Amino acid sequence: MKYLKVVLFLAAAVLFSGSFSYSADWDKQYHSKEDVKFKIPIGRSYDYTNILVKRVVDGDTLVLENGERVRLIGIDTPELHESNKLQRDAARSKQDVNTIKEMGQAAYEFTKKLVEGKKVSLEFDVEKYDRYDRLLAYVYLNKDNTFVNAEIVKQGYASLMTYPPNVKYVDLFTKLYREARQNQRGLWK
Protein backbone atom coordinates (compact mmCIF):
# COMPACT_ATOMS: atom_id res chain seq x y z
CA MET A 1 0.00 0.00 0.00
CA LYS A 2 2.90 2.37 0.79
CA TYR A 3 4.30 1.91 -2.71
CA LEU A 4 0.94 2.59 -4.32
CA LYS A 5 0.67 5.88 -2.43
CA VAL A 6 4.16 6.90 -3.57
CA VAL A 7 3.39 6.01 -7.20
CA LEU A 8 0.09 7.91 -7.10
CA PHE A 9 1.81 10.88 -5.49
CA LEU A 10 4.51 10.91 -8.19
CA ALA A 11 1.96 10.58 -10.98
CA ALA A 12 -0.08 13.49 -9.64
CA ALA A 13 3.02 15.64 -9.23
CA VAL A 14 4.10 14.94 -12.79
CA LEU A 15 0.67 15.75 -14.19
CA PHE A 16 0.53 19.07 -12.37
CA SER A 17 4.13 20.25 -12.70
CA GLY A 18 5.58 18.84 -15.91
CA SER A 19 8.82 18.10 -14.06
CA PHE A 20 9.21 16.65 -10.61
CA SER A 21 12.03 16.14 -8.12
CA TYR A 22 11.23 14.10 -5.04
CA SER A 23 13.56 13.61 -2.13
CA ALA A 24 12.50 11.83 1.02
CA ASP A 25 13.67 9.44 3.70
CA TRP A 26 11.00 6.80 3.32
CA ASP A 27 10.32 3.19 4.08
CA LYS A 28 13.34 2.77 6.37
CA GLN A 29 12.51 -0.88 6.85
CA TYR A 30 13.42 -1.74 3.25
CA HIS A 31 15.61 1.12 2.09
CA SER A 32 18.67 2.95 3.31
CA LYS A 33 18.44 6.23 5.17
CA GLU A 34 19.86 8.09 2.19
CA ASP A 35 17.49 10.27 0.23
CA VAL A 36 15.84 8.74 -2.77
CA LYS A 37 15.68 11.17 -5.69
CA PHE A 38 13.46 10.99 -8.72
CA LYS A 39 13.84 13.27 -11.71
CA ILE A 40 11.14 12.90 -14.31
CA PRO A 41 11.45 15.29 -17.25
CA ILE A 42 8.12 15.73 -18.97
CA GLY A 43 7.56 17.78 -22.08
CA ARG A 44 11.17 18.91 -22.30
CA SER A 45 12.98 18.77 -25.56
CA TYR A 46 16.41 20.10 -26.29
CA ASP A 47 17.83 21.43 -29.50
CA TYR A 48 20.82 19.14 -29.88
CA THR A 49 21.82 21.03 -33.05
CA ASN A 50 22.77 24.13 -31.07
CA ILE A 51 23.67 23.37 -27.46
CA LEU A 52 26.47 24.69 -25.26
CA VAL A 53 29.16 22.45 -23.80
CA LYS A 54 29.17 23.60 -20.19
CA ARG A 55 32.27 21.64 -19.19
CA VAL A 56 34.52 18.76 -20.10
CA VAL A 57 34.67 15.90 -17.59
CA ASP A 58 37.54 14.04 -19.25
CA GLY A 59 38.87 13.51 -22.76
CA ASP A 60 35.75 11.69 -23.98
CA THR A 61 32.92 12.94 -21.76
CA LEU A 62 31.16 16.33 -21.83
CA VAL A 63 28.43 18.06 -19.82
CA LEU A 64 25.89 20.11 -21.75
CA GLU A 65 24.16 23.30 -20.62
CA ASN A 66 21.05 21.24 -19.81
CA GLY A 67 23.05 19.07 -17.38
CA GLU A 68 23.17 15.96 -19.57
CA ARG A 69 26.43 14.08 -19.94
CA VAL A 70 27.61 13.07 -23.39
CA ARG A 71 29.93 10.13 -24.01
CA LEU A 72 31.72 10.56 -27.34
CA ILE A 73 31.04 7.49 -29.49
CA GLY A 74 33.88 5.44 -30.92
CA ILE A 75 36.78 6.82 -28.91
CA ASP A 76 38.45 6.21 -25.57
CA THR A 77 40.87 8.53 -23.81
CA PRO A 78 43.11 7.54 -20.89
CA GLU A 79 41.60 7.75 -17.44
CA LEU A 80 42.12 10.97 -15.54
CA HIS A 81 40.77 9.95 -12.12
CA GLU A 82 41.12 6.93 -9.84
CA SER A 83 38.73 4.22 -10.96
CA ASN A 84 38.44 0.49 -11.54
CA LYS A 85 38.95 1.16 -15.25
CA LEU A 86 42.23 2.97 -14.49
CA GLN A 87 43.46 -0.09 -12.60
CA ARG A 88 42.35 -2.45 -15.40
CA ASP A 89 44.02 -0.25 -18.03
CA ALA A 90 47.27 -0.18 -16.01
CA ALA A 91 47.29 -3.96 -15.67
CA ARG A 92 46.43 -4.51 -19.34
CA SER A 93 48.94 -1.97 -20.73
CA LYS A 94 51.70 -2.62 -18.17
CA GLN A 95 51.92 1.15 -17.58
CA ASP A 96 51.90 2.69 -14.15
CA VAL A 97 48.80 4.52 -12.97
CA ASN A 98 50.50 7.94 -12.85
CA THR A 99 51.60 7.68 -16.49
CA ILE A 100 48.04 6.88 -17.54
CA LYS A 101 46.70 9.79 -15.46
CA GLU A 102 49.20 12.16 -17.12
CA MET A 103 48.02 11.02 -20.54
CA GLY A 104 44.42 11.41 -19.34
CA GLN A 105 45.22 14.97 -18.28
CA ALA A 106 46.65 15.75 -21.73
CA ALA A 107 43.56 14.32 -23.45
CA TYR A 108 41.30 16.26 -21.08
CA GLU A 109 43.12 19.52 -21.79
CA PHE A 110 42.92 18.95 -25.55
CA THR A 111 39.19 18.22 -25.45
CA LYS A 112 38.56 21.13 -23.09
CA LYS A 113 40.33 23.58 -25.40
CA LEU A 114 38.43 22.17 -28.38
CA VAL A 115 34.85 22.27 -27.04
CA GLU A 116 34.32 23.77 -23.59
CA GLY A 117 32.15 26.89 -23.69
CA LYS A 118 31.27 26.34 -27.35
CA LYS A 119 28.02 25.53 -29.14
CA VAL A 120 27.85 22.09 -30.70
CA SER A 121 25.54 19.78 -32.62
CA LEU A 122 25.01 16.16 -31.66
CA GLU A 123 24.53 13.27 -34.06
CA PHE A 124 23.19 10.02 -32.64
CA ASP A 125 23.81 6.49 -33.84
CA VAL A 126 21.61 3.44 -33.19
CA GLU A 127 21.61 3.73 -29.37
CA LYS A 128 21.02 7.13 -27.79
CA TYR A 129 22.06 6.28 -24.19
CA ASP A 130 24.66 4.07 -22.54
CA ARG A 131 24.18 1.99 -19.38
CA TYR A 132 25.18 5.02 -17.28
CA ASP A 133 22.38 7.11 -18.85
CA ARG A 134 24.83 9.31 -20.75
CA LEU A 135 23.95 10.47 -24.23
CA LEU A 136 26.01 8.65 -26.86
CA ALA A 137 26.88 11.06 -29.63
CA TYR A 138 29.10 12.25 -32.42
CA VAL A 139 29.75 15.93 -31.71
CA TYR A 140 30.36 18.76 -34.16
CA LEU A 141 31.45 22.34 -33.42
CA ASN A 142 28.82 24.72 -34.77
CA LYS A 143 31.44 27.39 -35.53
CA ASP A 144 33.28 25.43 -38.23
CA ASN A 145 31.66 21.95 -38.27
CA THR A 146 34.77 20.26 -36.81
CA PHE A 147 33.94 16.61 -36.08
CA VAL A 148 35.07 16.50 -32.43
CA ASN A 149 35.29 12.71 -31.99
CA ALA A 150 37.41 12.44 -35.16
CA GLU A 151 39.61 15.44 -34.28
CA ILE A 152 40.52 13.95 -30.89
CA VAL A 153 41.60 10.71 -32.59
CA LYS A 154 43.33 12.55 -35.48
CA GLN A 155 45.43 14.63 -33.08
CA GLY A 156 46.48 11.51 -31.13
CA TYR A 157 44.55 11.91 -27.89
CA ALA A 158 42.28 8.86 -28.12
CA SER A 159 42.25 5.19 -28.93
CA LEU A 160 39.35 3.42 -30.60
CA MET A 161 36.49 1.97 -28.63
CA THR A 162 33.71 0.49 -30.69
CA TYR A 163 30.53 -1.01 -29.29
CA PRO A 164 28.12 -2.33 -31.93
CA PRO A 165 25.62 -1.24 -33.05
CA ASN A 166 27.12 2.28 -32.75
CA VAL A 167 29.71 1.88 -35.51
CA LYS A 168 28.81 4.50 -38.11
CA TYR A 169 32.30 6.05 -38.31
CA VAL A 170 34.49 3.10 -37.29
CA ASP A 171 36.38 3.08 -40.62
CA LEU A 172 37.16 6.80 -40.38
CA PHE A 173 38.29 6.51 -36.76
CA THR A 174 40.50 3.50 -37.58
CA LYS A 175 42.20 5.42 -40.41
CA LEU A 176 42.76 8.52 -38.24
CA TYR A 177 44.06 6.42 -35.34
CA ARG A 178 46.65 4.66 -37.53
CA GLU A 179 47.79 7.99 -39.00
CA ALA A 180 48.15 9.56 -35.54
CA ARG A 181 50.23 6.62 -34.31
CA GLN A 182 52.42 6.56 -37.44
CA ASN A 183 53.00 10.32 -37.25
CA GLN A 184 53.53 10.24 -33.47
CA ARG A 185 50.88 12.86 -32.66
CA GLY A 186 49.52 13.70 -29.23
CA LEU A 187 49.93 10.82 -26.78
CA TRP A 188 51.88 8.76 -29.31
CA LYS A 189 55.02 10.95 -29.19
Q: Considering the candidates 102, 134, 179, 181, report the single residue annotated as catalytic.
A: 134
Do the beta carbons of residue 79 and residue 85 sit within 8 Å?
yes
The terminus-to-terminus CA distance of the chain in angstroms comes to 63
Q: Considering the candidates 34, 65, 79, 88, report the single residue annotated as catalytic.
A: 79
Distance CA 70, CA 135 (A): 5
Which positions ≥6 away from 5 have C-beta within 8 Å? none
79 catalytic? Reply is yes
82 catalytic? Reply is no
Distance CA 71, CA 163 (A): 12
Q: Considering the candidates 71, 102, 127, 178, report the single residue annotated as catalytic.
A: 71
Distance CA 178, CA 20 (A): 48
131 catalytic? Reply is no
Closest CA to 22 of 36, 3, 11, 8: 36
- Nearest 10 degrees: Cα torsion 179, 185, 186, 189: 120
Residues classed as catalytic? 71, 79, 134
